[in-house]
Structure 1
Amino acid sequence: MNDPRRVCRVQLPTLPPALRANKRALGVYIAGAVFATGWWLFFDACVRSHTLHKQPTSPDKPYDPPGVAIKFDDWIPGISTTIGLVIVNLVNKQHLLDENGGLGANVPWNDDPIMWRTRMWLFIGFAFLAGGMAGSVALMIIKYMLNVQAEGYLEFGLASILQNVLLMLCVVLLWFSQRVESEYEYNLTL
C-alpha cells in the first residue's frame, strides 16, 4: 500500500545501516571533497594560464602570448563565494527556530533580535554567494566570450563558473549535514 504523504512515486534508496549512524560526518566529508574539487579546477586553470604566458627558453622560438590571462579579477568570484560559504555555515541554525520547533511560527522575527541578526547574517552570506556566481558568469561573458582576443580560452571562464557551482553545492551539503544530529550530541532538558 502506498503512503499518501509521499511526494515521489519512486522511493529513493535508503542509506546502509553502517552509513546511517554517520550521516553528519559523511555529509561533511563529501562537502569538503566538493569544496576541494571546486578550488582545484580553478587552480588548474590558473596553472594552465601561467604556462601559456611563460616565455620560451630558446631565442629561436617566437613568443606570441595569448590575449587573456587569469588575473586578480578572476579570483574575486571564488573568494566571494567562499566568504558566503563561511558566513552561511557559521550561523547557528537553532536561532532560526522558535521554542515550538517551527521556523519562527509564533514569534514575529522583528521582535526577536537574535532571530533578526541570524537572518541578516544569512542574507549577507547568500548575497556573497549570489554575487560570486553572478560575477563568474559576468566574467565569462565579458572577458572570455565577447573579447575577440580570448578566442579559444573559454575554459578559463568555465573553470570559474564550475568552481562557484561546486562551492554552492558545498554550502547546500554542509547546511543539510549540519541539521542531522550527531551521535555525540545530547539534548538535555530539565
Structure 2
Amino acid sequence: MDDQENRLFRLPYGSLSLGSFKTWFVYIAGALFGIGVCLLLDIALFSKLNNGSDVQVTFVDWISFICSILGMIVINSIERRQITMERMGVENKGLSSFILFIGCALTAGGFAGSIVILIVKYVMEDYTEYPALGMGVNNVLGNFCIFLSCIITWSIQNMGEEESSNFLAI
C-alpha cells in the first residue's frame, strides 16, 4: 500500500512551507476584514430598518470605522524594507517611519474611538438593553477585527525568510 493510504488524516502536516504559511494568514486576515465590515454594515442596516430602541447609528459611529480603514491602507502601503533602509541612512530620513506611525495611530485611534463611542453613547446613557448595546458592541468588534486584520497582513507580507523559519520552528 501507498503511504497516502496508510495515513489517518489527508492533510500532510509536515509540509508547512513559507508560501502556504503566508497564504493561510492572508486568508485569515481577509476573513477578519470581511467580518469587521459585515459587523459594521449589520449595525447600520439594523439601526435604519429594524431598530426597536431610541438610539440610532449616526456618522459619529462611522468615524472610527473610517479611521481604521484609512490606517489600514496607510500601514499596508509601507514596506519594512523602506524602514530598514531609513535606519541605515539610505532613504527618506524617516519619512516612511513617520507615515507608518500615522497609519498605526489612525488604526489604533479607530479602535479606541469605537470603545469611547460604546462607553459614552451607549453605556453612560443607560442603553443597556440588547438592541442598543448590541450596536455599540458590534462597532467595537468590527473595528477590532479590522485592527487585527491590519496587524496580521502587515506582519505576514513583510516577513522575510529568516523570520519565517524561526517562527515556523516554534
What TM-score results when the alignment is normalised by the length of structure 1? 0.69
Q: Secondary structure at 1:180's aligned position in 2?
A: coil
Let me know the Cα RMSD of the aligned residues. Answer: 2.2
Match of 2:48 in 1: 50
Report how many residues are paired. 147
- 8 Å contact kept, 2:36–2:143: yes
Quote the offset at 1:25 in angstroms. 2.4
* C-alpha separation in 2, matches of 1:136 and 1:90: 24
Match of 1:3 in 2: none
Which aligned runs of 4 or more in structure 1 are off by greater than 4 angstroms? none
C-alpha distance after superposition, 1:54-107 (max 9, x if no partner): xxxxxxxxxxx6210111111110110111011001002111114xxxx83xx3
Q: Which runs of 5+ in 1 are unaligned?
A: 1-14, 54-64, 183-190
Counting only pairs closer than 5 Å after superposition, residues 92-171 of structure 1 correspond to structure 2 as 92-98=79-85, 104=87, 107=88, 114-148=92-126, 150-152=127-129, 153-171=132-150
In the alignment, residue 158 of structure 1 is paired with which amino acid?
Answer: V
1:79 to 66, 79, 104: 66
Change (3 A) 1:178 1:45: same
* C-alpha separation in 1, matches of 2:14 and 2:78: 30
Quote the offset at 1:22 in angstroms. 2.3
Match of 2:155 in 1: 176
Q: Which runs of 5+ in 2 are unaligned?
A: 1-12, 162-170
* C-alpha separation in 2, matches of 1:28 and 1:160: 23
Q: Which protein has the larger Cα radius of gyration, Structure 1 or Structure 2?
A: 1
Which structure features the higher share of helix residues? 2
Match of 2:4 in 1: none
* C-alpha separation in 1, matches of 2:108 and 2:119: 17
| Larger displacement relative to structure 2 (171-180 or 44-53) | 44-53
Match of 2:21 in 1: 23
Change (3 A) 1:115 1:173: farther
Q: Once the two structures are aligned, what percentage of the paired residues are identical?
A: 27
Quote the offset at 1:151 in angstroms. 3.6
Q: Secondary structure at 2:57's aligned position in 1?
A: coil
- 8 Å contact kept, 2:115–2:140: yes
C-alpha distance after superposition, 1:142-161 (max 9, x if no partner): 1101113x341111111111
Match of 1:62 in 2: none
- 8 Å contact kept, 2:36–2:145: yes
What TM-score results when the alignment is normalised by the length of structure 2? 0.77
* C-alpha separation in 2, matches of 1:50 and 1:113: 49
